[in-house]
A and B are shown apart, each in its own frame.
Chain A
Amino acid sequence: MLEIREITKIYNAGAVTEQCLFDHFSLTVPDGQFVSIVGSNGSGKTSLLNIICGSIPIESGDVLVNGQSIARLKDYQRYASMGRVYQNPSLGTCPNLTMLENLSLADNKGRSFGLSRGVNRRRTEDYRRELAGLGLGLEDKLNVKMGSLSGGQRQAVALLMATMTPLQFLILDEHTAALDPKTAEIIMRLTDKVVREKRLTALMVTHNLRYAVEYGDRILMMDQGQVVLDKADAEKKATSIDEVLGMFNKISIESGS
Chain B
Amino acid sequence: MADLLISTLTQGLIYALISFGVYITYSILDFPDLTTDGCFPLGAAVTAVLLTRGVNPWLTLLLSLCVGALAGLATGLIHVKLHVRNLLSGIITMTALFSINLQIAGSNLVVDRGTDTIFTSPVTMSLFGGLNLLGRKLVVSLVLAIVVKLLLDLYFRTKSGLLLRAVGDNGTLVTSLAKDAGNVKILGLVIANALVALAGCIVCQEQRSFSATMGTGQVVFGLATVIIGITLFRRLSFVRGTTAVIVGSILYKACIQVAISVGLPANLLKLVTAVLFLLVLVASGRKGEEIIHA
Contacts and interface: CB of A to CB of B under 8 A. Distances in A.
A108 B178 contact: no
Contacts of B161: 118
A117 B294 contact: no
A93 B166 CA distance: 9
A92 B294 CA distance: 17
Of B172, B174, B293, the most chain A CB neighbours within 10 A belong to B172
A79 B169 contact: no
B176 A84 contact: yes
Given A94-B166, A105-B166, A113-B160, A76 B181 contact: yes
A93 B293 CA distance: 15
A94 B160 contact: no
A96 B292 contact: yes
B163 interface: yes
B81 to A, nearest CB: 13
B178 A110 contact: yes
Contact of A74 (B155, B163, B180): B180
Contacts of A91: 170, 172-173
A109 B170 contact: no
Interface in A72-112: 74-77, 79-80, 83-84, 86, 90-97, 101, 104-106, 108-110, 112
B178 A76 contact: yes
Contact of A113 (B162, B173, B176, B181): B162
B85 interface: no
B179 interface: yes
Interface in B137-186: 155, 157-163, 165-166, 169-170, 172-181
Contacts of A101: 162, 165
Contact of A118 (B162, B176, B181, B293): B162
A74 B174 CA distance: 13
Q: Is the contact region of chain B dominated by helix, strand, or loop, or is it mixed?
A: helix
B294 A96 contact: yes
A7 interface: no
B279 to A, nearest CB: 26
B177 A109 contact: yes
A76 to B, nearest CB: 5
A18 to B, nearest CB: 23
B181 A96 contact: no
A97 B178 contact: no
A164 to B, nearest CB: 10
A241 to B, nearest CB: 32
A162 interface: yes
Nearest to A106: B177
B233 to A, nearest CB: 15
A115 B165 contact: no
B173 A105 contact: yes
Given A96-B292, A97-B294, A118-B162, A113 B169 contact: no
A51 interface: no
Contacts of A86: 172
A10 interface: no
Given A79-B176, A94-B294, A118 B157 contact: yes
A95 B170 contact: yes
A95 B173 CA distance: 11
Interface in A30-89: 74-77, 79-80, 83-84, 86
Of B159, B172, B180, the most chain A CB neighbours within 10 A belong to B159
Contact of B165 (A96, A116, A162): A96
Nearest to A109: B177
A44 to B, nearest CB: 21
B178 A79 contact: yes
A105 B179 CA distance: 11
A92 B169 CA distance: 11
Nearest to B184: A113
Contact of A97 (B169, B172, B180): B169
B170 A117 contact: no
A90 B29 CA distance: 17
A35 B279 CA distance: 56
A113 B161 CA distance: 8
A131 B157 CA distance: 23
Nearest to B155: A115
A83 B175 CA distance: 10
Nearest to B27: A96
Given A76-B179, A95-B170, A119 B157 contact: yes
B178 A94 contact: no
Given A80-B178, A96-B165, A116 B159 contact: yes
Contacts of A90: 170
A20 to B, nearest CB: 26
Given A94-B165, A96-B165, A75 B170 contact: no
A80 B173 CA distance: 13
Nearest to B156: A118
5 contacts: A94-B170, A106-B177, A114-B159, A114-B160, A118-B159
Interface of B: 155, 157-163, 165-166, 169-170, 172-181, 292-294
Q: Closest 4 interchain pairs by CB?
A: A118-B162, A96-B294, A94-B169, A80-B178
